[in-house]
Amino acid sequence: MEKPQKILIVAGEASGDQHAANLVKEMRRLGGPFYFRGIGGERMRNEGVDVREDIVSLAVIGFFEVFRHLGTIRRIYRRLLADIDADRPDAAILVDYPGFNLRLAGDLKKRGIPVIYYISPQIWAWGKGRIRNIRETVSRMIVFFPFEEALYRQHGVAVSFVGHPCLDHVRSGMPVEEFRRSHGLDAARLTVSLLPGSRRAEIESLLPVMLKAAELIAKTCNRPTQFLVLAAPSVPLVLIKDLVASSGVQAVIIDNCTYDGIAASDFCIVCSGTATLETAILGTPMIVLYKVNFLTWLYMRILIRIPYIGLVNVVAGKKIAEEFIQFDATAPRIASYCAAVLADTEKLSSLRSELALVKAALGQPGAAARAAQAVIDALRQTSGR
């Protein structure tokens, strides 16, 4: 019987945990045998990964917010290196989480352990100087976006573009009419969904602003409106219920039906992140909100070198979804823009056409399987198997 390859796999956030779990599942389907161990969360554990540490549960967002958990993260890092030294893996797969994983890539390189990096750090937005470090420490980079592939090739980094995994799972499972009927929605009203994020800090920062904007939209829009709050499963539902109740806004809270809710909406107000791509794939016009700790915001103002913060706009290469960032993310500004767009059917139609182009730019379904094959090929090159 062939001896399993020992693979270290490290993910530090909820999205990375999901992508890593899907990658492990596809790798086992396509090849093997493999033994996976490392850092991750519940989804990786459910796919049979021997999860030694869990950073995912910290749900840290922002540069300066990390400092609150720095001691814990450092202890986890030291324990991870000790585990690597005690039982050397054949290779490592590092999934996103660049603050932790780029440093780890250097320590793995010193130990002669091949590194495959899945989901590129956003070097195109800030920190392009990190490409040199990546070139020196990473055997292969596996990326979601075609412009990332071009950038890495330009700098001599071995890279594989696999498309975006969202195309594999972002779909509506329920007809719009059935969804609206099952949740007591009025078919004659415009439906606006609020997507306040998947982390507690995002919810607490953005949902009150979104709800106040919803109240103003209901008063100023020339068409009758109704509102949904689409709750991410990673956030306690009681938090969202309490914030909605205290706002006084009549909004229907939808739990575990996010994609159906987006597809049944005429417009979405979305926390910046992957959710903007998911909303684009489903073809629903949106605006993007982003608001963080003040010190984090100052730091980002210095570092970020691209004109847009929303992934939907980054992929498009232009502003499709209006962005309300930090001090501009106020209820009156948001409501004024949304009310105007909701009253303009031609504008809404144009936005849907632009979003279809964004979806096309993300590649074809099957990204997780292509990523798994790219990893297996890279492992064969480094191990000689």
**pLDDT band with cut points at 50, 70 and 90 for residue 134:** very high
- Write down all domains in the chain, each with its CATH number in brackets: 5-165+366-383 (3.40.50.2000), 169-361 (3.40.50.2000)
Q: Looking at per-residue confidence, does 290 or 243 come out higher?
A: 243
Mean pLDDT within 292-319: 73
Mean pLDDT within 262-283: 95
Residue 216: how many CB atoms within 10 A of its CB? Answer: 17
Q: Is the pLDDT of residue 245 over 80?
A: yes
With b for 16 or more beta-carbon neighbours within 10 A and e for fewer, the 4-21 pattern comes to ebebbbbbbbbbbbbbbb
The per-residue pLDDT for 153 is 94
**pLDDT band with cut points at 50, 70 and 90 for residue 383:** low
Mean pLDDT within 342-361: 95
The per-residue pLDDT for 64 is 47
The per-residue pLDDT for 130 is 82
Average pLDDT score over the chain: 89
pLDDT tens per residue, range 212-238? 999 999 999 988 999 999 998 878 899
Q: Looking at per-residue confidence, does 89 or 54 come out higher?
A: 89
The torsion angle over the Cα atoms of residues 192, 198, 199 and 203, rounded to 10 degrees, is 10
pLDDT tens per residue, range 332-351? 999 999 999 999 999 999 99
The per-residue pLDDT for 183 is 93
Q: Which helix (H) or strand (E) holds 182?
A: helix 176-182
Mean pLDDT within 150-169: 92
Mean pLDDT within 75-103: 94
Distance CA 371, CA 143 (A): 9
Between 28-42, 64-78, 260-274, 314-328, the lowest mean confidence (pLDDT) is in 64-78
- Residue whose C-alpha is closest to residue 375's, from 5, 82, 117, 15: 117
Mean pLDDT within 86-99: 94
Q: Which of 7-11, 126-130, 304-308 has the highest mean pLDDT?
A: 7-11
Residue 364: how many CB atoms within 10 A of its CB? Answer: 12
| Beta-bridge mates of residue 140 | 116
The arrangement of strands across the sheet holding 115-118 comes to 50-53, 34-39, 5-11, 91-95, 115-118, 140-143, 159-161
| Beta-bridge mates of residue 39 | 10, 53
**pLDDT band with cut points at 50, 70 and 90 for residue 265:** very high
The per-residue pLDDT for 345 is 92
**pLDDT band with cut points at 50, 70 and 90 for residue 22:** very high
Q: Is the pLDDT of residue 177 over 70?
A: yes
| Beta-bridge mates of residue 333 | none
The per-residue pLDDT for 113 is 96
Q: Is the pLDDT of residue 357 over 50?
A: yes
Residue 236: how many CB atoms within 10 A of its CB? Answer: 11
Q: Is the pLDDT of residue 385 over 60?
A: no
Contacts of 316 (CB under 8 A, 6+ apart): 354, 357, 358, 361
pLDDT tens per residue, range 58-75? 555 444 455 566 778 889
pLDDT tens per residue, range 364-381? 999 999 999 999 999 988
Q: Looking at per-residue confidence, does 147 or 212 come out higher?
A: 212
Q: Is the pLDDT of residue 273 over 70?
A: yes
The per-residue pLDDT for 122 is 77
Q: Is the pLDDT of residue 286 over 60?
A: yes
CA 38 from centroid of its chain's CA atoms: 21
Q: Is the pLDDT of residue 28 over 50?
A: yes
Q: Which of 71-85, 140-154, 257-271 has the highest mean pLDDT?
A: 257-271
3-state secondary structure of 280: helix
The per-residue pLDDT for 229 is 97
Q: Give the β-pairing of 251-255 and 225-231.
A: parallel
Q: Is the pLDDT of residue 31 over 60?
A: yes
Q: Is the pLDDT of residue 147 over 50?
A: yes
